[in-house]
Structure 1
Amino acid sequence: MSRSRGFFQACTAIVICVLVAEFTAAMAKTAILITVDQSGRGNFTKIQNAIDAVPDNNLEEVFIAVKPGIYREKVTVPANKPYITISGRRSSDTIITWNDSRNTYNSATLAVLASDFVGRYLTIQNGFGAGAQAVALRVSGDRVSFTACRFLGHQDTLLDDIGRHYYKSCYIEGATDFICGNGASLFENCHLHSVSDSVGTITAQRRESPSENTGFVFMGCKITGINSAVLGRPWGAFSRVVFGFTYMSDVILPEGWDNWQDPSKQSTVYYGQYRCYGKGANPSRRVPWSFSNMTTQEAAPFFSKTFIGAAHWLRPLPTNFKRAFASKP
């Protein structure tokens, strides 16, 4: 092959890559608009009906705009319906609520099983209360993000099950293991609030082997509560949770972590803390099997979106919309 021919082929490949990238970006800015309005002035009055209207194996961006209201329904985004966004205007007035308590995996008020899902400005609540696993949000899809949402529950509020997830400026409330699962997830600028009557447990991460690239990372967050709490306990033997640049009120007990009555896990878990502050952040009395004073080198792999590969899948909000329905089904 001549140098000129090789150069031409390389240039052609570059041009094709650029065109594909531009086409993908353009597609991401246009979405099918579906409106949910309890007053009847939208396409649907229930959120689940709007999701059901999305074709199976969907490849188009779908933006479900939910008007203010309290939506008393159990909602599932099936695995074969990707590229859906559900967005309210403000989390305080766009509320999805239910009170199921069957078990951790089936009790969720909102279950996101699809990949490439976005949630914005929503309150998702499981109102069952104490006494059983009662999940508000289950996330079992890959490349899922939530922005400015509130997740309210008591036990297992947020089941961050599997996949890569990003939570930004969210409020998460609960008492027992209220952020749990085996996702690879970054929580940025989130507020975690313990409502336990005794000792709350914020996380129960389920990483089960050192080969799993999963774990919960909290960056620039805030922790408050009404009594006392620990940062986490190991659902899985290789549980991994790291807090950085996070304000911890005195709700956090000095020891910081709990071994869930299984000392054997102390040698396999990875519980870290880096440049946190507040009365509950003092590393001097943390359990000796945690990394209470991570070095900058130890912290570097965690405290960026690279941890979840988000540069490749976080997408911008659509700026153009096309309507999917001419009349109300």
Structure 2
Amino acid sequence: MASLFGGRAASASPGAVADGVEQAGGDRRVLVAADGSGDFAGVQEAVDAVPAGNNSPFVIAVRPGTYRGRVVVPADRPLITIVGLGRRAADVVIADDRANGTPHPAGGTWGTTGSASVTVDGTDFRAHNLTFANLFDEAAHPEITNRQAVAVLTRADRVAFTRVRFLGNQDTLYANSPAAATIARAYFRECYVEGDVDFIFGRATAVFDRCRVHSLDRGSVPNGYVTAPSTDIGNPHGFLFARCAFTSDAPPGTVFLGRPWHPSQDPDAIGQTVIRDSRIEAHIGATPWSDFGTWPWEDARFAEFRNYGPGATPTADRPQLTPAEAATQTVPAFLRGADGWAPDRHR
């Protein structure tokens, strides 16, 4: 990550930072360490140190450790990058443990959106080499029946994650936008996402590039659903998985690739999931898509192209893109937009 740190910030000490912010190469940087040896002991404290209306890159470097507590990146704090300083993504964990049905201190419950361990509303957010998790323990809370427990909720445009792990069960990764008609783009490169029910969902335009998508075995049939897109009918680009690996320890044929989510029964939420050039293991069956309540999967925008592996055998219930269609369903087509955003070109 020399481009972010100029070869120095990864070894920054508290004394290298003035007033909690280091001015170097135009980027401002702070260090988070759970043991108190950095500028801040918590990630939210570091986010709060970013000036409202921030207009230049602000890097939050996080030393190895587990950081518990909700993190919110507000809309008036764009251009934040959070980087784990461990050798592996597992060395830095940012986590909380609320579910939809967890009681809220002010009354009622948190809801699905409120359950998120990390919420990103600031544009041009980046994260690299760390883990985001929702540690809600379903077995320990049988009294909570609404178990949606989000690890990360993104609603901002131009957010990018590289070599990041997303851990949870139901509703792990909520890739969304501020409003149904608002397009928000998210890019995930060489990431790991795990869960069981609808664990990648929402209406964002989200690209998963060379990621591993792992379905947990919850010991039931069906064992779960990978995606639950709610893409607005006016958005031609929903979820794209390119050169990914779909894996699981679940028995063969017990997991679906997705089902169409219509929030509040919105008829214009015509979800899109496209999976191409990816390996699919045997946990996915011959009919990989499922209805969602009264909404049939056939009316959604589900398609595959040139996938392989024991769970990818083409059948009549697996819509396939033609080569001409596949030429329009690419990483650049999903990401570029009018501003030419190209996170896939940077490593």
TM-score, shorter chain, exceeding 0.5: yes
**Bigger-Rg structure (1/2):** 1
**Residue in 2 that maps onto 1:55:** 51
2 CA distance for matches of 1:251 and 1:283? 15
- The 1:126/1:220 distance shift into structure 2, 3 A limit, reads same
Contact 1:215–1:241 (Cα < 8 Å) also in 2: yes
Q: Which has the higher contact order (CA 8 A, sep 6+)?
A: 1
**Residue in 2 that maps onto 1:22:** none
**Residue in 2 that maps onto 1:19:** none
- The 1:171/1:215 distance shift into structure 2, 3 A limit, reads same
1:49-88 matched pairs, under 5 angstroms: 49-88=45-84
Deviates more, 1:75-84 or 1:211-220: 211-220
- The CA deviation string for residues 201-225 of structure 1, in whole angstroms up to 9 with x for no partner, is 000000232x223410000000111
**Residue in 2 that maps onto 1:220:** 243
Q: Could you state the TM-score of these two structures normalised by the residue count of structure 1?
A: 0.82
4+ residue segments displaced more than 4 Å? 315-318
Cα displacement (A) at 1:176: 0.4
Secondary structure of 1:105's counterpart equals: helix
CA RMSD, 1 decimal? 2.1
- The 1:205/1:261 distance shift into structure 2, 3 A limit, reads same
Contact 2:242–2:275 (Cα < 8 Å) also in 1: yes
Pick the aligned partner of 2:133 from 114, 125, 133. 125
1 CA distance for matches of 2:203 and 2:295? 21
Cα displacement (A) at 1:91: 1.0
Pick the aligned partner of 1:234 from 260, 267, 275. 260
User: Which runs of 5 or more residues in structure 1 are unaligned?
Assistant: 1-27, 319-329
Secondary structure of 2:315's counterpart equals: helix
Cα displacement (A) at 1:104: 1.6
Cα displacement (A) at 1:315: 9.2
Pick the aligned partner of 2:341 from 312, 315, 323. 312
1:7-156 matched pairs, under 5 angstroms: 30-89=26-85, 90-101=88-99, 102-130=110-138, 131=145, 132-156=147-171
Secondary structure of 2:45's counterpart equals: helix
2 CA distance for matches of 1:205 and 1:222? 19
> What one-letter code is carried by the residue in structure 2 that aligns with 1:109?
S
Number of positions where the alignment pairs a residue of Structure 1 with one of Structure 2: 286
User: Which runs of 5 or more residues in structure 2 are unaligned?
Assistant: 1-23, 100-109, 139-144, 178-183, 263-268
**Residue in 1 that maps onto 2:17:** none
**Residue in 2 that maps onto 1:251:** 283
**Residue in 2 that maps onto 1:323:** none
- The 1:216/1:315 distance shift into structure 2, 3 A limit, reads closer
Secondary structure of 2:197's counterpart equals: coil
> What one-letter code is carried by the residue in structure 2 that aligns with 1:203?
T
Contact 1:249–1:278 (Cα < 8 Å) also in 2: yes
